[in-house]
Amino acid sequence: MTTYLLRRMAFLVVSLLLACAVLFLLLRLLPGDPANSLLSVGATPEQIAAARHQIGSDRPLPEQFATWLGQMARLDLGTSFVSTLPVGPEIAARLVVTVPLTLLSFLLAVVVAVPVGFVAARRSDRWYGLLLNGVSQLGIAVPVFWVGMLLIWAFALYFRILPAGGFPQDDWADPADAITSLALPVVTVALVMSASLIRYVRSATMDVLDSDYLRTFRALGSSFPGAMWRHGLRNAAVPVISVLGIELATTFLGAVVVESVFALPGLGSMLAKAIAQHDYPVVQGVLFVSTFGVLLIGFAADLVQRIIDPRLRGTLSRSPR
């Protein structure tokens, strides 16, 4: 297990370095000069040259990339071209919205998808099992922003029981107010995420229900709940965990859409504004934090899979012949 952890952590570092290189190059391929964010209309060539020198865009790309990597190593995300504020504290202030939105949506989706997916698999020959399967497939095709607008119309405009958007200026000083502001965004993301999770839980459960080992334990006198708890749950959880990691990472990256619909001051709105302004330090900082979070989620999901499934641990302990 120790060998695997060291190998996986090395892979994590290499993946992060490659992602940084790709991110840096792709941003430089975008049309427009980031120095324009410091200039007004009708700037002279001398002013443009001074602005490019100020932000360092006149230096060779390898030198710019080496400087940026050095900043990342010092946990320095740079300074915004537009606001001249440090990017790191700005991202930290936005994470108090994006992280709770992501985690609460993920937990709600899991709470809904696991029992519904199990019932859809266990009663796949009944009408309600077929209905649950059909509803989950329909939910995958529904865009998240459309679900958000429907919920805003229903609960904010028609029933007037929840706010349509925004977030308290004092953040989580009043937890009840903050949770109320996140209620509709969380439900929006959870509904879309649970639709796909139900299908994976249903598929994994049906594989277990059709397995020989489960029928054997039932034939030996074990009850269905007992056999599922002792032998079915772990086998069904292994493929689902990898999907959960992907869904959690997708939710974190897809916050830009949900935050735009509900006017939340999270990483998504910060990224969209920075891209429009060609504010490279902010864009690089947000994407770096997002990429690092996605890689950590994948690392954690992979580790949990090996803890649950002893077959994966066994393959790591065997020496190749």
Kindly report the number of other CB atoms within 10 A of residue 60's CB atom.
Answer: 8
Q: Is the pLDDT of residue 315 over 60?
A: no
What are residue 79's DSSP bridge partners?
86
* 264 CB-near residues (< 8 Å, 6+ apart): 97, 101, 165, 166, 167, 181, 182, 185, 258
Better-predicted residue by pLDDT, 217 or 117: 117
Dump pLDDT digits (tens) for 26-37. Answer: 887 777 677 776
Dump pLDDT digits (tens) for 125-160. Answer: 888 888 888 888 887 888 888 888 999 999 999 998
Better-predicted residue by pLDDT, 237 or 119: 119
d(CA 261, CA 155): 15
Q: 101: pLDDT confidence band, cut at 50, 70 and 90?
A: very high
Q: What is the mean pLDDT of residues 73-89?
A: 86
Kindly report the number of other CB atoms within 10 A of residue 244's CB atom.
Answer: 23
All structural domains of the chain, each given as residue ranges with its CATH number in brackets, are: 92-309 (1.10.3720.10)
Strands (E), the chain: none
Q: Which of 161-165, 194-198, 209-213, 287-291 has the lowest mean pLDDT?
A: 209-213
Q: 318: pLDDT confidence band, cut at 50, 70 and 90?
A: very low
Rounded to two decimals, the pTM is 0.81
Q: What is the pLDDT of residue 316?
A: 45
